[in-house]
Amino acid sequence: MDAKTGFFYFFSIVLLFAAFRVVTARNPVHAVLYLILAFAQAAGLWMLLKAEFLAIALVLVYLGAVMVLFLFVVMMLDIRIDAVRKGFWNHFPLAVTVGALIALEMAAVLMGGFRGVEEPRPASVVVDAAGHAVQASNVKALGKLLYTEYLFPIEIAAVILLVAMLAAIALTLRQRKDSKAIDPSEQVHVRAADRLQVLKIAATQQTASANDVPSEEKKA
């Protein structure tokens, strides 16, 4: 077994472990951290497939921005873990069904979908329209492909991400019942009469009785 195969198995094992911990971790913050680890291992697999641009994009975009945003959102939402666990077994049959279906689809693709397919080898030199040999650029070729043939799917993905960002902001800024925040406008318009009320109470005089006299005075 060569070094490339060894790194493949190492990244794959860590990736599977991190993905398993994402769905089994009890703490949402721990789940996000395991998801960051899974993305890092996936970037390593992209590097082994000679897709350097996708690996760097995965690290910079997802690990550097999206996952950090998810982590802060999860911490600000203050999710009640006890309330989430109550409905776990109610949705467990549906989750098992969907998971089994996805596993069967992935097994069908991996078992018979890549037979006879050679390993992709990026061309180091290409020929331009004038017939001159120029150095190939994977980033340039990928950019042309994304913004020509796949422009509409990219715009749809951008809209979906925008909606997700707005939804995260709306959930963060929602009014909570257990919050004790004070409205500053009410503090500014408050008056002294609203905070303090002076009551006039008539003075009362209590006469001392025999029972109120201390025992020492009775003995004297």
pLDDT, tens digit, 9 for 90 and up, residues 99-146: 899 888 888 877 776 565 565 555 555 565 666 666 666 777 777 888
Separation of alpha carbons 73 and 81, rounded Å: 15
Residue 156 confidence (pLDDT): 92
Separation of alpha carbons 133 and 124, rounded Å: 10
Separation of alpha carbons 22 and 37, rounded Å: 10
Confidence of residue 201 (pLDDT cuts 50, 70, 90): confident
What backbone phi and psi angles, to 5 degrees, belong to 83? -70, -35
26 or 80: which leads in pLDDT = 26
Residue 60 confidence (pLDDT): 81
Tokens (6 digits) for 214:
């201390």
Domain boundaries along the sequence of the chain? 1-81, 137-174
Separation of alpha carbons 87 and 95, rounded Å: 12
Phi-psi region at 49: left, alpha or beta (left = phi > 0; alpha = psi -120 to 50): alpha
Average pLDDT over residues 20-46: 87
3-class DSSP state for residue 135? strand
Topology classification of domain 1-81: Four Helix Bundle (Hemerythrin (Met), subunit A) (1.20.120)
Average pLDDT over residues 155-177: 80
Among 32-46, 83-97, 166-180, name the most confident range. 32-46
Confidence of residue 97 (pLDDT cuts 50, 70, 90): very high
Residue 209 confidence (pLDDT): 58
Stated pTM of the model:
0.51
Output the CA torsion sign for 25, 29, 30, 32: positive
